Each structure stands twice: as structure tokens, then as C-alpha cells.
Amino acid sequence: MCRRFKQEFLAFYYCFSCTLFVKTSMAQLFDRAINKTGPAFIAIAIILIELCTLSFYLVVFPYAHDWSTASLWKKVLTAVEFVFTLYMVYCIHFHYYMAITTHPGTMESKQSPRDSSVSLLSEEEESSLRQTLLEMEESDAGNRTMLKTCKKCHLPKPERAHHCSVCNKCTMRFDHHCPWIHNCVGHFNHRYFVLFMTYLVVSAAYFTAFGWQPFMVSLDLMNDEWPYYYPRPLMAFAAILAICMGLAIGGLCLWHYYLVLTAQTTVEFYNNYYDKQQARRQGEVFVNMYDFGFKENLRRFFNVCDKFPWYTVFYPIPIPPRGSGISYEKCDAFYMLSRSRQLDHIEMRYEGHEIDDKDI
């Protein structure tokens, strides 16, 4: 009887191990595929954006504005509108470029030498590493928690950081890995990513509002001649593409603004949802330690609090995020909790990070 049970147990264990191995291997292959095809995703995105841009300036804008018969006042308004569209196009390209090229922030970038041929850290890098560890120790000392280390990359792990399986690095304030920018969305480029989506959605709506008539003409439903050099099929495709991008990216953009207003990342949203349920079962009130209220969260995310005025959010210029990405300020509601509740919140967040990192 015992021998038969042992055989059945070994058979079950073998099947389970094989299934887990296949699942892990498939996940690794998928992550590698996303990492390798990232430049192709960027190329496709640029082609689609430029296709809509050309359609607007070669068909939509000339169709909506007849310069030859317009009055002086209307010509002034047309010139202002033309400058506005150029501003929108530039903002789309600027923020997309910044989201791609800006490092999201990792501990590896803080302690790995820039020149791979050099095995020792430079003085500047050693100073940066010491400062980073000091910030983490000071932050953890205030909460009496141990300095955390990532179990995958074996580097110090700041709060709100998660390990990305695609990049194989711990990203500061990790939100998600986006193949369309071939980069993680993290502490240092999240602002650019959200603004890129914002300008893209507004531009798509603008294109749709002014381009529906040329779109109907391009379908040859009104039997009008086509006086433009731009092909009809491309105009029709660009109009449909603008609608689809506006809806799809618009939904994603609204989701990210909800996360910004509530001081969460995509990963933290699911952790907080679980923690809220646990707190409700225990008759307690859940507190998001990073939530300062809608208005303050928005100001902190776009870093228009102290150094940069509010209107700089409309400037297509590089603006760093608030803080170093190592530690984050806590709201007053968190400090109003008892010391034990504060420690419980911090430990639950670290435990959630370690669980999620297995699947990210």
C-alpha cells in the first residue's frame, strides 16, 4: 500500500514539475520575444503616427481651410490653428522619444560601471551608491524594517520597486513593461508616458472631428473628385486608425490618470485591492500611505509642486520626477495609525512585492 502511494505521489510530483517547467519556459520565451521585438514595435508606432500626421496636413487641414477665399480674420485663425497642430505633433513626438530614451530607474544603473571593461566602480558611482544605500537605510530605519534585497537580481530593492521579467531588472516605482516604448514605465519616465498618451488621444479626437468629411469623400460615397496627392485608401485608413487609437489609448490613458489621482501604479492597484478586502474583513480601514488627495497626487506626479510652476506641464521640455525613486513621502493618514499598524502596512506591501515579482 505504501509502495503504491509512493509511486502515485512520485508520478503526480513528476507531472507537476513538468507542467511548472513548461509554464516557466513559455513565460521566459514570451519575455525574450517581447524584449527582442521592442524596436519593431517602436518602428510600427512611428509609421502609424506619421501616417496620420501626413493625412492631416495633406488632406484634412486643406479640406477644412480654404486659404484663397478666406478673409483676413479667418486667415489669422487658420494660422493660429496651424501652429496649435504643430505644437500637438511636436509634443507627441517629444514625449514618445523621452518615454523611450529615459531610463525608468534601477539599482543596477546606480551601482554598475558605465564602461563594461572596468571592473571597479568610479568615485562618482561609489558616492552615488553610498548615497542610495544611505537613503534606503534612513527610510527603513524610520520604519524599523530590514533593508530589502531582490531575490532575482540580488540588489537593494527600494520601496515601490518591482522586478521586471522582460528587462530582468528591478525598476523603481514600476508600473508595467510597455513593448511600444521598448522600456519599463517607471519612476523617471512615467510622466512622459502619460503625457504622450494624453497628447495622442487629444490629437486623435481632433483628427476625427475635422477629418470625418474627408473620410467620407475618400470612401467615394459623395462622388466628389479627389484633388489631393495623398491616396484615398491611406486617408481612409488613417481616419479609422485615429478612431481606434483614440478609443484604445484613451481607455488606457484614463486608467493611468485614475492611478495618478489615487497615487498607485498598476501593480500596486491589485495589491491595494487585496489589502482593502483583508482590512474590511478585519473591520479596519485601509490606508494608502502614498495618497495625499487627488490634487496633491496630481501635482506630485507631474512635479509641479515647488521647483516647477503648474504651466510647465504644457512645456515639451525634460522635467525630472519628484524625489529620487528610492524612498517616498507618506501621507498624514498613515502616520495617524498606531505604530504596529504602520509596520503591518509596510510588511504587507513588501510581501506583496515579493509575491508579484514571481509573475511580473
Q: What is the dihedral of CA 112, 116, 122, 126, to 10 degrees?
A: 10
Q: What is residue 17's predicted lDDT score, i.e. its pLDDT?
A: 47
The stretch 192-214 carries a mean pLDDT of 95
46, 54 contact by CB (below 8 A): no
- CA atoms of 60 and 174, how far apart (whole Å): 39
Lowest mean pLDDT among 52-61, 287-296, 351-360: 351-360
**What is the C-alpha to C-alpha distance for residues 309 and 307, in angstroms, rounded to an integer?**
7
Is the pLDDT at 22 greater than 60? The verdict is: no
pTM: 0.81
Helix (H) or strand (E) holding 115: none
Give yes or no: 244 in active site: no
Instruction: Tell me what pLDDT residue 292 has.
Output: 93
Helix axes 72-101, 38-55, angle to 10 degrees: 180
Number of Cβ within 10 Å of residue 185's Cβ equals: 25
**Residue 222 pLDDT class (50, 70, 90 cuts):** low
* Structure-model confidence comparison of residues 2 and 321, the more confident one: 321
Burial class, 84, CB count within 10 angstroms (exposed 0-12 / middle 13-18 / buried 19+): exposed
Angle between helices 190-218 and 294-302 (to 10 degrees): 90
Amino acid code (one letter) for 169: K
Helices (H), the chain: 2-36, 38-55, 61-64, 72-101, 107-111, 123-143, 190-218, 232-261, 266-281, 294-302, 332-335, 339-356
User: Which of helix, strand or coil describes residue 162?
Assistant: strand
Q: What percent of the chain has pLDDT over 70?
A: 74
Contact 325, 131 (CB under 8 A): no
Pick from 357, 10, 312: which is nearest to 168 by CA? 357
Taken in order 307, 313, 315, 321, the sign of the CA dihedral is: positive
Query: Pick the residue with more confidence: 125 or 65?
Result: 65
The residue-averaged pLDDT of 28-36 equals 71
pLDDT class of 277 with cuts at 50, 70, 90: confident
In angstroms, rounded to a whole number, what is the distance separating the alpha carbons of residues 137 and 146? 8
- Which residue is associated with the grid cell 540580488? 154
- The secondary structure of 311-342 as a DSSP string is GGGGS-S--PPSS-SS-----HHHHTS-HHHH
Catalytic residue among 91, 153, 178, 253: 178
Q: How many C-beta atoms lie closer than 10 Å to residue 329's C-beta?
A: 11
pLDDT confidence bin for 302, thresholds 50/70/90: very high
Question: What confidence tier does 299 reach under pLDDT thresholds 50, 70, 90?
Answer: very high
Which pLDDT does position 144 carry in this prediction?
A: 44
How far is it, in rounded angstroms, from Cα 11 to Cα 14?
Answer: 5
The reported pLDDT for the residue numbered 280 is 85
Q: What is the pLDDT of residues 170-182, one digit of tens each?
A: 899 999 999 999 9
Measured between alpha carbons, how far is 53 from 288 in angstroms, rounded to an integer? 42
pLDDT score of 237: 95
Q: E strand or H helix at 164, and its extent?
A: strand 162-164
Q: What mean pLDDT comes out for the span 308-320? A: 93
Read off the pLDDT of residues 315-347 as tens digits, 9 standing for 90 and up: 999 999 998 888 888 888 888 877 777 776 676
| Helix-helix angle 232-261:294-302, to 10 degrees | 120
Asked whether 214 and 60 are in contact (CB, 8 A), the reply is yes
pLDDT tens digits for range 74-105: 889 999 999 999 999 999 999 999 999 999 99
Query: Is 19's pLDDT higher than 90?
Result: no
Nearest to 307 by CA among 341, 317, 50: 317
Contact 274, 352 (CB under 8 A): yes
Is residue 10 very low, low, confident or very high in pLDDT (cuts 50, 70, 90)?
Answer: very low
Confidence of residue 183 (pLDDT cuts 50, 70, 90): very high
Residue type, 318: P
What average pLDDT does the segment 57-72 reach?
86
State the pLDDT at residue 227. Answer: 86
Cβ proximity of 275 and 352 under 8 Å: yes
Provide the 3-class DSSP secondary structure of residue 321: coil
- Give the pLDDT score at 354: 57
Q: What integer best gives the mean pLDDT of the chain?
A: 80
Q: What is the chain's Cα-based Rg?
A: 26
